[in-house]
Amino acid sequence: MEELSATPARRHYAHQAYGRTADAFEPVAWRPPVSKRFDPRPANDGYGTGPSLKDDFAALPAWATIVGGGMIAALVGALLGGALQV
């Protein structure tokens, strides 16, 4: 790869065009600019329109938590008993 030289005329042009003089025509590491307005959601998705999962759990009655915990404990006990039987 050949090296580009920055002559005084090109330095002057670079200063007028880019606002910096010395390295305007030197190779640099370039990356695309970050888009600050990009929204990754689809237009018809409707995020934020309904209650969150935390709100749903807060609305459950106390007996549902106790019954759900008991069912999970029974399921874990059955799976553990089956695993120990083998």
What pLDDT is stored for residue 69 in this prediction?
95
The structure's pTM equals 0.38
Digit-coded pLDDT (tens) for 18-35: 665 455 455 665 666 676
Listing DSSP states for the chain in one string gives -PPPP--HHHHHHHHHHHS--TTTTS-----PPPPSS---S-TT--TTSS--HHHHHHTS-HHHHHHHHHHHHHHHHHHHHHHHH-
What's the average model confidence in pLDDT over 44-63?
80
Residue 86 in this model has a pLDDT that exceeds 80: no
What pLDDT is stored for residue 47 in this prediction?
63
